[in-house]
Amino acid sequence: MENITTKNTTLLCPSARPESVESVVFGVVTGTVKEPRVTYLKQPQSVTDELMALSSPVTPTEVFRIAAPCATKSCQHFDGKTCRLAMRIVEKRDAVVEELPPCSIRRDCRWYQQEGKAACMRCPQVVTDNYNPSEQIRQVATPTAG
């Protein structure tokens, strides 16, 4: 695995897909299906085919938290100024940690820049692909108008 340092001027989406340009793994999902928790890597790792293969037999986004430059207008959660997903996570999900997690992408993270530490306190429970979400998680993840 190649160590990299994020030096983006573009903010990073902390819930990106592995096929996104310049994507990096910054965490590994641990815990249980009902109570997932992200374990943060000390340094983000470049997304490679070899790294993604480690998630088999499930999808990489069930196992890894991946960041990539925010897609802004190309993302269903972006309203032109803000990430509505980050906003809904802060509004509708309870914090799951009491201290800021040791996140290697925080300084470039759109969620942190937009919502502050409230987003970080909820981030460890976020799984990009959740195939058995609760009704609350479904509501948070569903893009809404405005």
pLDDT at 145: 42
Determine the Cα–Cα distance for residues 36 and 44; give it in Å rounded to an integer. 20
pLDDT at 9: 60
Cis peptide before 57 (omega within 30 of 0): yes
Walk along the chain (146 residues) and give the pLDDT tens digit of each residue.
Answer: 444 444 446 899 999 999 999 999 999 999 988 889 999 999 999 999 999 999 999 999 999 999 999 999 999 999 999 999 999 999 999 999 999 999 999 999 999 999 999 999 999 999 988 777 677 787 787 776 44
Give the ranges where 68-134 is alpha helix by DSSP (H): 84-92, 110-115, 117-120
Pairing assessment for the beta strands 64-69 and 24-31 based on DSSP bridges: antiparallel
Determine the Cα–Cα distance for residues 133 and 114; give it in Å rounded to an integer. 25
What is the identity of the amino acid at 122?
A: R
pLDDT at 4: 41
Q: Sign of the C-alpha dihedral, residues 47, 50, 54, 56?
A: positive
Say which residue the tokens 């009902």 belong to.
34
Predicted TM-score (pTM) of this structure: 0.86
HSE at residue 79, side-chain half, CA atoms within 13 A, is 13
Q: Note the maximum CA span of the chain.
A: 40
pLDDT at 8: 43
